[in-house]
Chain A
Amino acid sequence: MSYSDKVIDHYQHPKNVGTLDKTKASVGTGLVGAPECGDVMRLQIEVDEKSGVIKDAKFKTFGCGSAIASSSLATEWLKGKSIDEAVTIDNMTIVEELNLPPVKIHCSVLAEDAIKAAINDYRQKNGLEALKFDEKIVH
């Protein structure tokens, strides 16, 4: 299977690899996937308290090139978005942007889940209730 140029570019030059301080109230952390499944993503957002805009996003991912690219792309998209905008990021837009083949769609779903998990972590830390999301059925 060959990867698209965009996947290769994110793999070779991943954007926003790193760790934010998860103890801070302004930081939301989402950890999704499982080592047994071959994919674990950790995505973090830091929200500007006044404007509610995501001012920083970082990821670390254990997985294939498509998983790394999906999370790298997600962090790029998150920066500068408000929480409300970030919630609407759909995995299929990631699939389209990266030209992921059908067997790799689960990587984009994982990235979407990681975004939502990070947002909910942030909301709960700040006394808001967690948003409920419809489960996406994969494999």
Chain B
Amino acid sequence: MANSTLTKKRSTAYGSTVALKSAMAVTGAILVLYLIAHMYGNLKVFSGQEAFDGYAHGLRELGYPLLPEQGFLWIARIVLLASILIHIYAVAVLWRRAARARNDRYQVKKRVQRTYASYTMRYGGVLIAFFVVFHILHLTVNAIAPGGKSDSPFERLVNGFQPEFWYVTLFYVAAVIAVGFHLRHGIWSAMATLGANKASRQGKINAVAVAVSLVVTIGFLLPPLAVTFGLVSK
């Protein structure tokens, strides 16, 4: 406005955009570490049913008898759920704020240098959120069971990604690619938000972001595609 006095009441820095972004960065980092562990478990499918099911069962017993049975699993689930909720809350607030900040759109807008991945963050994130719900219903609680229910995690996987359920595989592939793009920009952005970006380090941070997203994308695509193409079967 034309007057230049500070008339508006100031918000506190704890609720600032930077604090929200930092919350997204930290919870995102937790989720990336989880994804890497999850991917490692998935790749056990290439060692056969016994190794895969044994690994899944081992997770339930991890930390036992120090922790109660499934104790580790429930701690992980609570941390992950809290991370996801904080991540989504922060993006909801920031997305609304960004939409309000650019309330009139440009008639012509040109991309200068931004990555394709940076365009996919918000809508890609929504796709990933829907996928996570489906994924838990499918392979964790087995409420959705294309190809038949089973107590064996290996059999659930093999049943669910048979060629006749190509749409399940397609959704999975689309979601994993969305995760890849999400991590490509997300890892870079999280590092910058947490203050690690220096001109001399930008190349390295971007290289790590690309490398991690490629590894995660390929690592998650291999097991279901191996089932679809018959490389892994019961």
Q: Do they bind each other?
A: no
Please report B residues at the A interface, Cβ cutoff 8 Å.
Answer: none
